[in-house]
Amino acid sequence: MEAEAPFWIELLVRFQALHWKYLLGYAFSVLGSVLLVRPIVTTLWKQVESDQSGIRAFPWHSAAVGTVEVVLYTSAVVASGQYLYFIPAWLLLKTAGRWALWEKGTERVWGRTIFLIGSGFSLACGVAGGTIASWAISDRWPDVVILAVAFTVFALAFRGWICCQCMKGKS
């Protein structure tokens, strides 16, 4: 007579079978943030900095926050929507932190615009990563590929559009 394995062993076996699918979603979020979102924000800041030097003393701070937030957004989605309330709470906290700069007038309109574009793309990237993980777990591979390609194409097209606008502004 064979003894039943404890539930935690079954859970561990199940996790091992699915863990790479979770990692796929997180990898998309982090790599998408680094390879797609960060270049968009950097391109926008470069245009502003060409007019006024030294605006962003520590640009890696924004990059670090962006990387952390895409992981948090992905986690909120992967947790079966249980923690989706976290997303607006984080955005509120993030915006409140910038509000003081906006009220003092130390950050101009373009700073707000760049902040909103970066936040929007970070949110989209994190939610896409969480959705990719969820769909991968459900073996919805065509949907995973379509979402990954669609987000990538949109981000690249948006960056291309921004680059064109920057060129027009210089001429």
pTM above 0.95, yes or no: no
* Selection from 116, 22, 109, 121 nearest residue 70 by Cα: 121
Q: Is the pLDDT of residue 54 over 60?
A: no
**Angstrom distance (rounded) from CA 104 to CA 160:** 33
Q: What are the tokens at 11? A: 């859970």
Q: Is residue 94 part of a domain?
A: no
Looking at the predicted structure, is the pLDDT value of residue 52 above 70? no
Cα angle at 134 between 10 and 61, to 5 degrees? 110
70-127, pLDDT tens digit by residue?
A: 999 999 999 877 788 889 999 998 888 777 766 776 566 677 888 889 999 999 999 9
| pLDDT, mean of residues 131-159 | 96
Residue range(s) defining the domain that contains residue 152: 21-47+100-171
Rounded to 10°, the helix 7-32/59-78 angle is: 140
| Rounded Cα distance, 30 and 126, in Å | 8
Q: What is the DSSP letter of 48?
A: H
What was the pLDDT predicted at 7?
Answer: 65
SS3 91: helix
Question: Is residue 141 one of the residues assigned to a domain?
Answer: yes
25-29, 35-39, 96-100 — which is least confidently predicted? 96-100
Instruction: Work out how many domains the chain is built from and give that number.
Output: 1
Question: Is residue 127, in this structure, part of any structural domain at all?
Answer: yes
Which of the two residues, 80 and 158, has the higher pLDDT score?
158
Q: Evaluate whether residue 161 is within a structural domain.
A: yes
- 65 in a domain, yes or no? no
CB burial of 27-61 (b: ≥16 within 10 Å; e: otherwise) equals ebbbebbeebbbebbbbbbebeeeeeeeeeeeeee
Residue-averaged pLDDT of the chain:
84
Average pLDDT, integer, range 54-65: 74
Q: pLDDT value at position 102?
A: 66
- Residue 82 has what pLDDT? 76
Residue 113 resides in a domain: yes
Whether 64 is in a domain gets the answer no
Q: Are 87 and 125 in contact (CB under 8 A)?
A: no
The answer to the question of residue 76 being in a domain is no
